[in-house]
Amino acid sequence: MQDLNDLIYFAAVVRHRGFAPAARALNVPKSKLSRRVARLEDRLKVRLLERSTRRFRVTDVGMDLFRHCESIAAEVEAAEDAVAQVRSEPSGLVRLSSPFDFNLPILAQILPGFLNAHPRVRLQIVATSRRIDLIEERVDVALRVRTKLDTDPDLTMRVLGHSRIILVASPDFIAKNGMPASPDGIAALPTISMSEQAGADCWELAAADGRKLAIRNEPRLSSSDLNLLLGAASSGLGLALLPDRICRRAIVDGDLVHVLPAWSAGEATIHLVFTSRRGLLPAVRAFIDYLADELPKALRLCEAIQKGKADFVSLAR
């Protein structure tokens, strides 16, 4: 069986470009390093290093082995970090960014459970629907709902669920303006938009049979606050394109009507993003794991509530 220390010693010699600097970095005798590398070469039956009093060169096979050794060293370090993280009690401040519509009732109901389980942790919630730069704004975890997922290689993502984006309007609005027979009729109606951009909006709708349409409209009201838009749609201000997770209950109660149910703006993915799993503070790691467990359950319960199959007392439990 291969001695991992021989591989670690060899990698250190290559990384530091010589036995003497590697010996100083590792605080071990130079003779020990030379002996261990020679033993590794004998075992593998290849020459890894060309060395003399004036020359030090890594062979091609030595460079291949070095790259694998670096991976091994990183995995060993990660394993040690994982054990240390488990043994360390979560503490300190964790900053979470979250869209407004998630703060009540979902986060308000599940966050006390985390804080009660980890009394040394403090939470700070940044309520916003704009895109957060986690590193620049020192946010540990971002809860996002996006139709297009982030492709930033520096971010790690955990998917929690999905939400369909549908067209809704109040019964009074439909009575006054009529029910559109097709998406083409939307542009002539007053609309309510989730866009934060000034001017016209473009709703990209798709049908179950694969048909797609881009509907340009001039919103009467636009905002990233979905609860505000839900209230405006229920009041008859306009036709709205909203996530089904926030308007199911209003549809069940008769405050909203699902318009053109064969069409939608696709699905939005509810997910967490954070900078890296490796090196996360224990409090951040524990919080991510807690949200990954509890948020999907809370979302399913909210869906049942909005369909009239449960009540808000259940969510409080």
Q: What are phi and psi of 281, to 5 degrees?
A: -65, 150
**Domain 92-162+269-316, what fold?**
D-Maltodextrin-Binding Protein; domain 2 (3.40.190)
- Domain spans of the chain, in order of start: 4-87, 92-162+269-316, 163-267
Query: How does strand 156-169 pair with strand 49-51?
Result: unpaired
Distances (CA, A) of 114 to 110, 123, 275: 7, 10, 21
Note the pLDDT tens digit of each residue in 195-250. Answer: 877 778 888 898 888 888 898 988 999 888 888 899 999 999 999 999 887 888 88
What interhelical angle do 282-306 and 108-117 show, nearest 10? 150
Which of the listed CATH numbers 3.40.190.290, 3.10.20.90, 3.30.1490.110, 1.20.1740.10 matches domain 163-267?
Answer: 3.40.190.290
44: which residues sit within 8 A by CB, 6+ positions away? 65
Decide if 92-162+269-316 and 163-267 have a common fold. Answer: yes
Per-residue pLDDT reduced to its tens digit, 144-176: 887 777 666 778 888 888 888 899 999 999 999
- Selected from 3.40.50.1360, 1.10.10.10, 1.10.540.10, 1.10.287.10, the CATH number assigned to the domain covering 4-87 reads 1.10.10.10
Q: Tokens in use for 290?
A: 């807690």
pLDDT single digits (tens) 24-40: 888 888 888 889 888 98
pLDDT of 19 strictly over 80: yes
pTM over 0.75: no
